Amino acid sequence: MNHQNTISNKIKTIGAILFLLMSTIIIATIYLNAKNKKDALVINIAGKERMLTQKISKNIFYLYNSDTHDYTELDNATEEFIYNLNSLKDGNRLTGIEKVPTDEIAKQIAKVQVLWNNFNHNVQRFKDLLLQRDDRNEVIIKNIVNSIYNTNNNLLQEVDNLVTMYTVYTENKTEYLKYFQFGSALMILLLISYSFSQLRSIESNAKKFMEFSKQLIQSPNDQPLEPIEIDAEEEIVAATDTINCFINKVNSAMDYSAEAIEHSKQASSKLEEITDEFDKVLGELENSTDIHSHLNKSEDMVIESTEELINSTHKLQELKKELDKLLQTCNRQ
């Protein structure tokens, strides 16, 4: 018997699969949502890099066209750009940013890094020359400003491409999350359908068992009981085997009692024939006193044996009556 084919095991298996599936969905959804939040932070930082390049360029033009030498805003923007670029490239534990997720994005960051190094070099030269500004280095400063302008456009375009790559990467993960949720929902529906089918199978087998039991109760008293045959779960099969064992014992007792009664009737009939034969012999031997005396004794013994057989027959008939009462009691239940 397959011990896996039990009602309890089926319920436990379905419950375990459903629990595991729901737990996986919840954990995966929480994890992917947390990742999406971090990705949104990365996109925000990459977008801020684009804004910082413009801020640095505008500050350069402002310093070039004014007499001020306050580099505070320019230095702050430069340091923030470098800090953010390193965070995107190497990750940042403080902000929860991980390292570059794909090789394609890593290559784009490397391209931005090269452009930035050239751009930042011009910025630092501009700062140094601006402190010594005179007619001799005016042309050099102007060329540096023009170079910063041209480099800024290229840097701005590559940073914009970097933002686009991060955006596409995040959108793809979001789509993956949607597909995962849809797939998980479909699996849950399939599991629910399977659960209903198993419950209907259990219910159907239980109804079959009850129908066989009713047929057993309604069977004629003078007919042998038919064993129950059903292919179902282990618990129902075990109950069926128990009833079949009882049915086999009752059928065996009924067959034995009926056979014994038949044998006793045949023996009684045979003895009656013998008695009739003795009566004839006695009629022929009436004049023989000794023989008549022995025959009387023999006849008494035969009559006594016949009475014992008749009593045995009555006892067996009583046994059959008791078995019939047992069946009637089962029918009433």
pLDDT at 181: 75
pLDDT at 1: 46
Same domain, 54 and 137: yes
Same domain, 168 and 54: yes
How many other CB atoms are found less than 10 A from the CB of residue 281? 14
Q: Which of 180, 202, 224 is the last residue of a domain?
A: 202
Residue 173 covered by a domain = yes
CATH number at residue 258: 1.10.287
pLDDT at 275 over 70: no
Residue 219 covered by a domain = no
Same domain, 13 and 140: yes
Average pLDDT over residues 86-111: 88
Residue 210 covered by a domain = no
Q: At 233, is the pLDDT very low, low, confident or very high (cuts 50, 70, 90)? A: low
Residue 218 covered by a domain = no
Same domain, 243 and 186: no
Residue 207 covered by a domain = no
Same domain, 127 and 275: no
Lowest-pLDDT choice from 11-15, 111-115, 200-204, 318-322: 318-322
Same domain, 71 and 184: yes
Residue 93 covered by a domain = yes
Q: How many domains does the chain have?
A: 2
Mean pLDDT of the chain: 76
Query: Where in the sequence is the domain holding 266, given as residue range(s)?
Result: 234-332
Same domain, 311 and 190: no
Same domain, 94 and 195: yes
pLDDT at 146 over 80: yes
Residue 152 covered by a domain = yes
Residue 221 covered by a domain = no
pLDDT at 111: 93
Same domain, 88 and 155: yes
The CA–CA distances, whole Å, from 100 to 87, 159, 171, 175, 276 equal 9, 15, 16, 20, 119
Residue 306's region, left for phi above 0, alpha for psi from -120 to 50, else beta, is: alpha
The whole-model pTM stands at 0.55
pLDDT at 114: 93
CATH number at residue 154: 1.20.120.1730
pLDDT at 82 over 90: yes
Q: What is the largest CA-CA distance in the chain?
A: 183
